[in-house]
Structure 1
């Protein structure tokens, strides 16, 4: 109890001390306000020197914030208000800030960007999509140039040299995915001069909840193409179509996963004529079958993906956008193509991957901001060690948030919603309706057209007109339907005269799995003191209740007593909250489990990158190769000449062949494995020295650097594929009644040992083959 009280008190103290900074910043600002431009530049240069020399006076951060306020005033004609100063200073002090939609988070971020940019290590301003990255960069560029800062925009289409230049800037704007993919690409190159990123230092993340929470389940993947086996995909797809739920497979609606039943496994083994579906040798069949089942049961067109130009396009569940250039991994994309009768594309093979959680964990300092993050305080603190500081609004929020209106079925909900929209439209009030899928938005648009109401639809099919659609949403009589407003990045500004009509009216067509998404939708109304209203229309047939509270929802429908007009009775609202809390807990549990599983993979990834960097920057490749040979020598001596067997039982001839030795190995009674190993090493080193003397070393080293990188990459890719298959089937291990993360860690450890042995063996065998191919006169013991 005392620990919790102490922690809470500490946070309060930090908040109060941060709030005391605002008048001090404004006092500094008043002094700067009257300076000439040259005098202001002298102030900036003095601060830069203090920061670089690490002799920062206590007022340095106040001065930095004041300089930003003055620069924004001079270059943009905008004066930052106290709440923006507070949010910016809170981020300088390491906090995540919660600032509601329309409060000016973009300008607020300029304060920590300037401060961390002064450190000279590079600060990354991270956004959720390219449009926001470019918009924010263009808006901030002149301010930072005025402050003497170099600033760049990281875009996917940049050439290597251009990316290197962008990363050398003190401030770099870009999307979270582009920064992550650059990190992965830097660990795939064969020339150190081709790396683009500097060592990671500071990250400031806009919409930090969208990046660190919503994207946490999806890894960033750089993939190569491998030829899919079309016959097997078609066979598996046809096979799973004949399977029945509960008899052949079970679906966990909460986690959105499927698994084969015991009877289905026996059926598969009979039809495909295999002994054990879960043998490593049968992983391909199991993998194709599972992905075919997932595509049939879990993936739905116009919700999870859409079909355009004969191709499958992924829909981002959190933003409603099409994820350009992305594919479902591990063959799921191809399974959907077969299901939809499309031409089969090449299957992707993972060359490198990292989760959002682990990538951003690589930054020594990470902060951010969001309009709705307070609900995820526990997860941010537990997973990332971040504290959240809510910032009060500049003007009071006067939006009226009506209680949810609950209906027994979807049809009654839609009818009542159309009636409400019609009445508001006749008054001239603008309306925004938030939906959860493309299909839902199009169905509502069709229902509105039946009563002669036209609307603008913003979803994955119309996102190219996003800015225009949002720009018109605040006009009189406008009706806008949007699949998720999270991360849209543009404020809805009210047309003249709309405030007198009550402002923007927002309706939610369903509650989401997370309250944050609902709050983001409501927050589109009532920005900067504007009037507005919001309400959610909910049906007991909605997906939230079907997945997380189906039995309770059935009971409510059976005892329904409120007719067709909907109800906001407290017991109903408590049920809605319960279902949403259950969904949030389930999603948190999934993210936590994925995080624990990825911690296992990440430790191995760090080992791999360390080894790979050692090869990449090595000037003495012969040392790298000698180390591999030595490692494989230890393995072979232990396997072929074990201490528990007598010397006459040792397989010394095979040992000599393994290392291409030209002289025989001598054995004797009471000889130990270490003595045998010494003999092998001595002969090997003699041959190795003579081999190296015959080489043009610089050319040879260059060739072998590339060969070693190719071999370790190939072994790593194969290792990651096996680890991925193990992760996919980890839920089958629940029968062992053990912690699944511990089971996975144990399996991964043994697989990693195999991976390391495989890599060192590959190096050894390639170099020995090269030595054999050399003219015999150079080798010891030769005629």
Structure 2
């Protein structure tokens, strides 16, 4: 029986179908302009840009220009790149222009789809950001698609790690700017740590198109970007803690894989108390005395490092470093670090150099960063499963764009085996069968460990693994995959060779093992990829007749190989298990069947797989044995697929709830962040700084008087001695306040007025003495540094508060409401401290020489910090790791403590070169 919903969709079409239908008249209008555009010369086509800009200046809207602008871009693309946008690509571009997400299958040309809406929105001159998942794709796309923009007279910029502020500023000033999500977010945070507007690099956030939007706005958005700096080195402490964990037995701890948590039992606590006591690390009698809170925290992190985090699955060790592997993409994330001591625990476990912990300097979540854009859009091959989250968090609709050619891929039902060994045997049989028939195979795994296990199995079956780091071996692989039993492994260990390996995975008979990262940004083309083969085989061969002839031979060979692959059934995607997220499974499936090519996909599962094991399959195993399932037999039924999909939906819903809850907490901080960052920006204006400082001074005086002279109190009840002392220490004023209190008819308002007058006169005298310009610079430097220091302390306080309010749920109190209330109180306290500290410093300031103070420097150490909502661990992505080297480089050889001329540039937090033992900023670098 057909359900009512299905019947209605059959008659009226789905909401998605109706949305596509509304865009088709515009596609027809663009097509109608094609002959006119083809008739234009290059110069006439380029002149269209100025024509459009003039129309905008005269009041036209972007939507009015959509049809002609899209027609211009399509023609420019055909001339410059030899690529003509299909009608479905134009529809995808319109959806992006409307500020929505386009879901387009792999191989449908999403990179080209973005060009028309980018061009149209860049005409306003406010800048368009195209956000990608890595530097490689950003660099590739700005060169490749940038040819269209530059041909039409627009400027392009590229933001990647390692470029200077001047280069960043120029890139952001361009009409179209490509870069990674991390770099855009970092630049926003860095800008809000700068001390003058001129050194800020970003413009207001106008329009962004996010490529692989599901990866960036869902997977990576679990975790905030943070700029942080190092704390003190405690290598010995981490090593001492690490030595205790192997001494524990199973009865000493409990592991919950589902919740990714590890805790000590009572027996474990007693054993640890004894071990800590023997190592002289236990303070007091009990492990849970307040003095031992740090030791307990690091013991728990050490337990997680040893029992929950697996080498070659969660991280790898490379070049004496622990490098995190992203659980969703399988990519290495060099420099990114777990925080709260977890990364240090992993470094101690693996016996590599231990880096110091970090202190948060500034932070923002990707959700709150990308919601700052006036208009946001995204594109990916897999977004429909997360449509609810995109709408809920970002107010973004997802539109499923039909394929240019109907999909021919056959998706088989899953095969479920009892054991992993049976599953792998079945996979080996299928791989052998495909290889013999000349059908290319892509085997998807969930971790490096499993990809290497499969590689060993293939080698036992007579296959030879190629060295993917050798360009010659890759070139030979493209030619010989169908003739010899060879295979390639693509995982985080070979990140640099990713594009070259995946590009040749469509060669007949090719066997490619890939982790979840398979093919991001690079299509698997049947027969192989001509451009990659030319690059690998001809390299730096000079242009000429010989090179041209060899290129033609490669093209001909690839065409012949493509026909063989098509006849064999196209690419066969074999998945070795299901991921928690359906999107990741769909991404793997989507590698096959591009642009109407034939293809095949099948998932092989076992009851011992992580998803099946953790989410309950014990009863299923016993039931299957009772039903008489023989070894090597599999269950294949659509009901199994549905049951697995429901399990995945439950996990996805749980993860979404966690992300949503985290965002509610971060929204509280985000409101405060906006206030601080906006105020900070205003303070860079000298007039605003002067007004703000004067206002703070008067408010601080009012607070001081109110604290010592209660409202409606008699003069004999006043604490005039206390007020006199506070005024002397905090305002640097020695005033006869006790005598004032003895005056006839004196009131607290009169005391306040006199104090304000005295303080204002002192500051006016300083301004007259130093000159107004220098005084404004001093005020700005003191105010901005004070804001920054207090904001860092405030972030740490909010972190601690966040940990504490979770427990209040047990007292039937809403943790979020508690967090809102207490964070507001903390924020008010921060503002009160800001008034006090700024006023006090400025009242004490005396310039030794009448010169402008040096503009404070931003911290040299920049890291991105990510918190996994399922485990509570934070990951930190480092943006500048060579802090120590930079400091050493800035300190000239042979500093003479007696001669400041030899000191060079001294960091404000460095020890003073004079040898006093104080920090430079508190000694020779002080303003007083």
Q: TM-score w.r.t. structure 2 length?
A: 0.77
Q: In 2, are the aligned partners of 1:548 and 1:583 still within 8 Å (CA)?
A: no
Partner of 2:461: 451
Q: Give, in whole Å, the separation in 1 of the partners of 2:750 and 2:290.
A: 37
Partner of 2:701: 633
Partner of 2:642: 574
Q: Which has the higher contact order (CA 8 A, sep 6+)?
A: 2
Partner of 1:663: 735
Question: Is it true that 1:520 corresponds to 2:524 in the alignment?
Answer: no
> Cα gap change, 1:428/1:710 in structure 2, threshold over 3 Å: closer, same or farther?
same
Q: Give, in whole Å, the separation in 2 of the partners of 1:159 and 1:121.
A: 22
CA distances 1:53-87 after superposition (whole Å, capped 9, x unpaired): 33248641111111111111111222211111111
Alpha-carbon shift at residue 144 of structure 1 (Å):
1.1
Partner of 1:357: 367
Question: Aligned with 1:436: secondary structure?
Answer: coil
Range with greater deviation from structure 2 (550-559 or 48-57): 550-559
Partner of 2:260: 256
Partner of 2:557: none
> Cα gap change, 1:480/1:487 in structure 2, threshold over 3 Å: closer, same or farther?
closer
Partner of 1:777: none
Alpha-carbon shift at residue 167 of structure 1 (Å):
0.9
Q: Give, in whole Å, the separation in 2 of the partners of 1:396 and 1:95.
A: 24
Decide which of 150, 166, 169 is 1:164's aligned counterpart.
169
Partner of 1:395: 405
Question: Is it true that 1:738 corresponds to 2:813 in the alignment?
Answer: yes
Range with greater deviation from structure 2 (132-141 or 753-762): 753-762
Question: Aligned with 2:221: secondary structure?
Answer: coil
Question: Is it true that 1:328 corresponds to 2:338 in the alignment?
Answer: yes
Q: Give, in whole Å, the separation in 2 of the partners of 1:66 and 1:677.
A: 70
Range with greater deviation from structure 2 (107-116 or 346-355): 346-355
Range with greater deviation from structure 2 (335-344 or 662-671): 662-671
Range with greater deviation from structure 2 (135-144 or 397-406): 135-144
Decide which of 570, 573, 589 is 1:506's aligned counterpart.
573
- For 1:360-399, list aligned pairs within 5 A: 360-399=370-409
> Cα gap change, 1:677/1:59 in structure 2, threshold over 3 Å: closer, same or farther?
closer
Question: Is it true that 1:460 corresponds to 2:492 in the alignment?
Answer: yes
CA distances 1:571-601 after superposition (whole Å, capped 9, x unpaired): 5333322321121111111111111111112
Question: Is it true that 1:483 corresponds to 2:483 in the alignment?
Answer: no
> Cα gap change, 1:9/1:98 in structure 2, threshold over 3 Å: closer, same or farther?
closer
Question: Is it true that 1:211 corresponds to 2:216 in the alignment?
Answer: yes
Structure 2 portions without partners, runs of 5+: 277-281, 465-486, 528-561, 850-928
Alpha-carbon shift at residue 97 of structure 1 (Å):
0.7
Q: In 2, are the aligned partners of 1:597 and 1:741 still within 8 Å (CA)?
A: yes
> Cα gap change, 1:573/1:514 in structure 2, threshold over 3 Å: closer, same or farther?
same
Question: Aligned with 1:513: secondary structure?
Answer: coil
Decide which of 826, 830, 834 is 1:759's aligned counterpart.
834
> Cα gap change, 1:228/1:634 in structure 2, threshold over 3 Å: closer, same or farther?
farther
Alpha-carbon shift at residue 416 of structure 1 (Å):
1.6
Q: Give, in whole Å, the separation in 1 of the partners of 2:343 and 2:71.
A: 51
Question: Aligned with 2:145: secondary structure?
Answer: helix
Alpha-carbon shift at residue 304 of structure 1 (Å):
1.6
Alpha-carbon shift at residue 684 of structure 1 (Å):
2.5
> Cα gap change, 1:33/1:772 in structure 2, threshold over 3 Å: closer, same or farther?
closer
> Cα gap change, 1:202/1:283 in structure 2, threshold over 3 Å: closer, same or farther?
farther
Q: Give, in whole Å, the separation in 1 of the partners of 2:614 and 2:748.
A: 61
CA distances 1:439-490 after superposition (whole Å, capped 9, x unpaired): 1111111111111123211111011111111122111211111111367110
Partner of 1:781: none
Decide which of 482, 501, 505 is 1:473's aligned counterpart.
505
Question: Aligned with 2:524: secondary structure?
Answer: coil
Partner of 1:92: 97
Partner of 1:16: 21
Range with greater deviation from structure 2 (554-563 or 487-496): 554-563
Decide which of 534, 545, 565 is 2:601's aligned counterpart.
534
Alpha-carbon shift at residue 24 of structure 1 (Å):
0.9
Q: Give, in whole Å, the separation in 2 of the partners of 1:728 and 1:673.
A: 43
CA distances 1:30-54 after superposition (whole Å, capped 9, x unpaired): 2212122233234332222112333
Question: Is it true that 1:273 corresponds to 2:254 in the alignment?
Answer: no
Q: Give, in whole Å, the separation in 1 of the partners of 2:356 and 2:261.
A: 25
Alpha-carbon shift at residue 352 of structure 1 (Å):
1.7
Alpha-carbon shift at residue 234 of structure 1 (Å):
3.3
Q: Give, in whole Å, the separation in 1 of the partners of 2:629 and 2:124.
A: 63
Range with greater deviation from structure 2 (306-315 or 342-351): 342-351
- For 1:55-66, list aligned pairs within 5 A: 55-56=60-61, 59-66=64-71
Q: Give, in whole Å, the separation in 1 of the partners of 2:244 and 2:21.
A: 64
Range with greater deviation from structure 2 (220-229 or 312-321): 220-229
Alpha-carbon shift at residue 740 of structure 1 (Å):
3.0
Alpha-carbon shift at residue 725 of structure 1 (Å):
3.4
Alpha-carbon shift at residue 267 of structure 1 (Å):
9.1
Question: Is it true that 1:72 corresponds to 2:104 in the alignment?
Answer: no
Alpha-carbon shift at residue 266 of structure 1 (Å):
9.7
Range with greater deviation from structure 2 (691-700 or 310-319): 691-700
Partner of 1:719: 794
> Cα gap change, 1:444/1:9 in structure 2, threshold over 3 Å: closer, same or farther?
closer
CA distances 1:246-294 after superposition (whole Å, capped 9, x unpaired): 975663x444345677998899899643699999987755653443344
Partner of 1:119: 124
Question: Is it true that 1:624 corresponds to 2:692 in the alignment?
Answer: yes
Q: In 1, are the aligned partners of 2:251 and 2:268 still within 8 Å (CA)?
A: no
Partner of 1:604: 672
Q: Give, in whole Å, the separation in 1 of the partners of 2:23 and 2:726.
A: 67
Aligned length: 769
Alpha-carbon shift at residue 400 of structure 1 (Å):
0.6
> Cα gap change, 1:579/1:245 in structure 2, threshold over 3 Å: closer, same or farther?
farther
Question: Is it true that 1:106 corresponds to 2:173 in the alignment?
Answer: no
Partner of 1:175: 180
Alpha-carbon shift at residue 114 of structure 1 (Å):
0.6
CA distances 1:300-359 after superposition (whole Å, capped 9, x unpaired): 211121101111111122221111332223332212111222221122222222111111
> Cα gap change, 1:244/1:192 in structure 2, threshold over 3 Å: closer, same or farther?
farther
Alpha-carbon shift at residue 621 of structure 1 (Å):
3.9
CA distances 1:718-768 after superposition (whole Å, capped 9, x unpaired): 221232233345544442333333233233223323332333332233223
Alpha-carbon shift at residue 647 of structure 1 (Å):
5.2
CA distances 1:483-530 after superposition (whole Å, capped 9, x unpaired): 113671100011121010111111111111111110000000000011
> Cα gap change, 1:589/1:561 in structure 2, threshold over 3 Å: closer, same or farther?
farther
Q: TM-score w.r.t. structure 1 length?
A: 0.91
Alpha-carbon shift at residue 149 of structure 1 (Å):
1.1
Partner of 1:315: 325
Partner of 2:192: 187
Question: Is it true that 1:229 corresponds to 2:240 in the alignment?
Answer: no
Structure 1 portions without partners, runs of 5+: 775-783
Q: In 2, are the aligned partners of 1:250 and 1:261 still within 8 Å (CA)?
A: no
Q: Give, in whole Å, the separation in 2 of the partners of 1:419 and 1:645.
A: 93
